[in-house]
Amino acid sequence: MDFDLHPDQLALQKAAIDFARNELASGMIERDAQRAFSHEGWKKCAAFGVQGLPIPEEYGGGGADPITTIAVMEGLGYGGLDQGLLFSINAQLWTNSIPLLKYGTAEQKRKYLPGLCDGGLIGANGASEPNAGSDVFSMRTRVTRDNAGYVINGTKTYVTNAPVADLFVVYGTLDPRLGVLGICGFILEKGTPGLSVGKKLDKMGLRTSPMAELVLENCRVPATALLGREGRGAEVFNCSMAWERACILATCLGTMRRQLERCLDYARTRTQFGQPIGKFQSVANRIVDMKLRYETARLLIYKVGWLMQQGKSADMDAAMAKLHVSESFVKSCLDAIQIHGGSGYMTEFEFERELRDAVGSTLYSGTSEIQRNIIARGLRL
């Protein structure tokens, strides 16, 4: 079994690292404090090809396979510091572009995918509700048929990119009594009558990724706005979550790698009590744990990419990767702070922001508890 990336993938990953270092690493302390989304960074990422990585070339994408996509995302996380921007890009890729590619009509794909790839459009996903988070299919957003199409009423929350989005994938139910068979997905454009962005939401981390509520009040849409088949929206949503869980934490993997290297360098050069602090077992053990977390996380994520590339089911493996990487990311951030002592607690060292960003990874795309439930079902428990 070959665990190495091939030369073309390594070259792309190195290019992503260099790009992110040059374009996505400056001014982060200030932008984090200001909660400032970088439209310029978004455009630069699109020009580099990030937003279109796994999308076929016929729609303006790069046509990259899953492993190559993961390798590039890891490189961006290693070289860049703007986890919020990368999170926003991931949110668009896995909850807008991929569902459109897999379930959109030929017309929908021609109309929207090129703009999502070239940065001209920003996408957002409206699924979660105030009373339907982990239990997302208990959503109360109602969809009613009429002669012209559908009327949608409801409120969505935790909508990443909502304040800046041009395009929304929104889910609602024809009848709560139908359960998952009542769910429908829709593609809505900004400015659609009855669709409005509600209260902006401030977060502990990922502050450069904007978030808000989404309000649908007698929002009338034509039948052509339906994404996939009527009553099969749960299938569309589950597809997006499978891709998201598989790929969204690749950027975090890159950050874990960078943290490990920073801590190694610090432990070798920082001297206390007459010797490098890496000679102290308590420090060395933390770095060993960081190394172990990174390597196991990498194996899990790239295995999921390999399974997807082979056309095999990756649901349980994606849940394992998402669970392990997110929880490992938090632990490694805490270790990085502890290794650097008082300096690690300071804003200028940037570990505290990375910790705040990491905490969210145990919540988005399904909480750690939900991932454990998925794994348990896969084990037939």
What is the distance between the alpha carbons of residues 11 and 293, in angstroms, rounded to a whole number? 25
Region of residue 27 (left: phi > 0; alpha: psi -120 to 50; beta: else): left
Q: How high is the pLDDT of residue 1?
A: 60
276 pLDDT above the threshold of 90: yes
| pLDDT tens, residue by residue, 234-256 | 999 999 998 998 899 999 999 99
Count Cβ atoms below 10 Å from residue 178 Cβ, excluding itself: 11
How many Å apart are CA 47 and CA 106, to the nearest integer?
Answer: 25
User: Is domain 124-231 in CATH 2.40.110.10, yes or no?
Assistant: yes
- Active-site residue, 244 included: yes
Q: How far apart are CA 241 and CA 108, in angstroms?
A: 21
* DSSP codes, 68-87: HHHHHHHHHHHH---HHHHH
CATH 2.40.110.10 boundaries in the chain: 124-231
Residue matched to tokens 């982990």:
134
Catalytic residue among 74, 129, 244, 352: 244
Q: What is the pLDDT of residues 44-62, one digit of tens each?
A: 999 999 999 999 999 999 9
CATH class of 249-378: mainly alpha
User: Rounded distance, CA 258 to CA 324, Å?
Assistant: 18
Token couple for 336: 């990085």
Q: What is the mean pLDDT of residues 19-24?
A: 96
pLDDT over 90 (residue 164): yes
The dihedral formed by the CA atoms of 334, 337, 342 and 348, expressed in degrees to the nearest 10: -120
Q: What is the pLDDT of residues 120-151, one digit of tens each?
A: 999 999 999 998 888 888 899 999 999 889 99
pLDDT digits (tens, 9 = 90+) for 172-181: 999 988 989 9
Q: If DSSP codes are grouped into helix, strand and coil, which group holds residue 65?
A: coil
**In this structure, CATH architecture of domain 7-121:** Orthogonal Bundle (1.10)
Please tell me the predicted confidence (pLDDT) of residue 132.
Answer: 83
Q: How far apart are the first and last CA of the chain?
A: 30
CATH 1.20.140.10 spans which residues of the chain?
249-378
Q: How confident is the model over 326-361, as pLDDT tens digits? A: 999 999 999 999 999 999 999 999 999 999 999 999
